[in-house]
């Protein structure tokens, strides 16, 4: 079961490590290879969240929202969208989630503009 303190912090998508049914995130600052942009999120202990996505011009775009954890169920509440994940594993330096089944098109910023 995931624990709140283990999830609090900033996480960056390490797409190089993704596997069959697993999306891997590493803590911000982890030595990842260069990429044109990476999805990321920050989970604060007070329940606020910031979701980062690569922008169309390689500058990042951030969306603010809220998060909560119930058992191993992580819920991200964003403007116009809620994403639910069953945390597969969390350990120091690595967070594994299932792929987002609703993420089929470009992500959007707070203004509703596509971010990539």
Q: Global pTM?
A: 0.80
Q: How does pLDDT run across 50-59, given as a tens digit for each residue? A: 998 887 877 7
**Alpha-carbon distance 42 to 49, whole Å?**
5
C-alpha of 1 from chain center? 18
Structure tokens at 8: 């609090």
Mean of all residue pLDDT scores within the chain: 83
Q: Residue 69's pLDDT is what?
A: 94
Domain spans in the chain, listed from the N-terminal domain onward: 4-97
Q: For the structural domain made of 4-97, what CATH number should be given?
A: 2.40.128.280
């Amino acid at each position: 079961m995931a624990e709140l303190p283990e999830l609090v912090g900033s996480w960056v998508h390490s797409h190089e490590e993704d596997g069959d049914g697993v999306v891997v995130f590493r803590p911000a600052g982890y030595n990842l290879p260069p990429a044109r942009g990476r999805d990321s999120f920050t989970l604060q202990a007070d329940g606020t969240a910031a979701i980062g996505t690569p922008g169309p011009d390689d500058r990042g775009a951030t969306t603010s929202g809220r998060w909560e954890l119930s058992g191993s169920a992580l819920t991200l509440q964003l403007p116009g969208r809620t994403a639910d994940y069953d945390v597969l594993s969390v350990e120091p330096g690595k967070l594994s989630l299932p792929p987002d089944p609703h993420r089929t098109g470009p992500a959007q910023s707070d203004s509703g503009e596509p971010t990539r």
